[in-house]
Structure 1
C-alpha cells in the first residue's frame, strides 16, 4: 500500500478499482469520464448519487459512517475516455474543507486489497475537490493524486468539465387580472324623475 502525495502516480495492478472517499463529515462523491480534451462527451458521463452508473463507472453510496465509492472497470471504459476524475463536495450548505481532511482509498474492487491512499493537504475555503484521477497511459491504467480545490462546489467542477448544470428556475409571478372598469350607472328610464326630482320642488313649503 502506497501513501500518495499531490501529483504522484501509481500503476494499477487491478483491472477493477474502487475509490472510497471518506471524511469526518458527509461528502457527495462523483466520477466524471473525460475525453482527451478534458471534457465529458455528454451529461451521461457524470456519475453521482442521482445518476449512479455510466460506461464502466459506478457510484455506490456509503453506509452509515462510511464514504461513497466510485468504481472503475477499466476494461469497460469506452476507448474515447482518457481519464475518470473522482471528486468530493461538502454536503452541508456553506461548509468548507477548512479543518476537514478527506481521504481517498484506492483498492481492488475484486479482492478489496488496498493499493494506495491519498489525503490532500492544506485545504481551506474550498467547497469541492478533485481528489484523484484514474487515467490511461498507453495500454495500462494508472492513478494520480490531485487534490485540486474549487470554491464553487460540485456545480463548479461539473461546469469546468463540460456538464450542463441547470440553474433553478426563477419563480413566476402570478398573472394579475386586469382591473374591470366600473359599471356605468344605467341611464334613467324615459320619463322617470332624476335624483333631484324625488324631493319637493324648490321653494315649496315643507310638508306639515
Structure 2
C-alpha cells in the first residue's frame, strides 16, 4: 500500500502487526465519527490489552492489534493503529516500521504498508481500520508525531497525565525582628 491508499476488508477479524528493527510500542485507539475516543477505555495497548472488539498482543516479533469488526460498537467509526519507539529520545529516522494486515482467523496477508521518509517522528499512526458504506476498509496512513505517543493520545482525546512537578517548599514566615540592644 502507499500513503492514503485503502482496500476493502474481506475478513471480519483482522490482525495488524507492526514490526521494525527496533522495539516499538503498538496500540489501537477506538474513535467515534468525531475522531475522538469515548473514554480512556478506548485506548488499547500492552497495559490495557482489551477493548470492545479490539485486543493487543505483545510479541518479540512485533505487537499485534486485532480488530473483530462484528464486535466493535456501532458508535466507533475507526480503529487507528499507532506505533511509538520504546527507547527514550529515539526517532524513526532510519527505521522502517511495517504494518501487516492479516485475516486473524486464516492468517492470509491482506495488505502491507511501510511509511516512507520518516525522520524526527517519535510516534506514528500506521494504519486505520474504518467503516465505509456498511463494510470495513483498511487505510495506509503513516502520519508522524514529534511529541511521541502522548501527542497521538492527546489528539484523539485520551487523558494523558503529566509527571508530577516536585512540590515547592512551603514559604517560611518572616524572621522575627531582632531584639533591640539592651541599654
TM-score greater than 0.5 by the shorter chain: yes
User: Is residue 31 from structure 1 mapped to residue 32 from structure 2 by the alignment?
Assistant: no
- C-alpha displacement of 1:111: 1.2
**CA RMSD between the two structures:** 1.5
Map of 1:169 onto structure 2: 164
| 2:103 corresponds to which of 102, 108, 111 | 108
* Partner secondary structure for residue 75 of structure 1: coil
Deviations 1:117-165 (A, max 9, x none): 0000000000000000000012110000000000000000000001110
Moved more, 172-181 or 118-127: 172-181
User: Is residue 59 from structure 1 mapped to residue 25 from structure 2 by the alignment?
Assistant: no
* Partner secondary structure for residue 170 of structure 1: coil
Mind listing any 5+ residue stretches in structure 1 that lack a counterpart?
A: 182-208
- C-alpha displacement of 1:6: 0.4
Q: C-alpha distance in 2, partners of 1:160/1:179?
A: 46
Map of 1:195 onto structure 2: none
- C-alpha displacement of 1:47: 0.6
Map of 1:71 onto structure 2: 66
Greater CA radius of gyration, 1 or 2? 1
User: Is residue 135 from structure 1 mapped to residue 154 from structure 2 by the alignment?
Assistant: no
Deviations 1:173-201 (A, max 9, x none): 566898999xxxxxxxxxxxxxxxxxxxx
Map of 1:197 onto structure 2: none
Map 1:180-199; keep pairs closer than 5 Å: none
Map of 1:45 onto structure 2: 42
Counting matched residue pairs gives 176
Q: C-alpha distance in 2, partners of 1:60/1:16?
A: 15
- C-alpha displacement of 1:11: 0.6
Q: C-alpha distance in 2, partners of 1:175/1:5?
A: 57
| 1:83 corresponds to which of 78, 82, 86 | 78
Q: C-alpha distance in 2, partners of 1:148/1:180?
A: 58
Runs of 4+ in 1 over 6 A off after TM superposition: 176-181
Q: C-alpha distance in 1, partners of 2:47/2:169?
A: 32
* Partner secondary structure for residue 140 of structure 2: strand
Mind listing any 5+ residue stretches in structure 2 that lack a counterpart?
A: 177-183
Deviations 1:88-118 (A, max 9, x none): 0001011000000000000011011111100
Q: C-alpha distance in 1, partners of 2:142/2:174?
A: 61
What is the TM-score when the length of structure 2 is the normalising length?
0.92
What is the TM-score when the length of structure 1 is the normalising length?
0.81
Map 1:152-163; keep pairs closer than 5 Å: 152-163=147-158
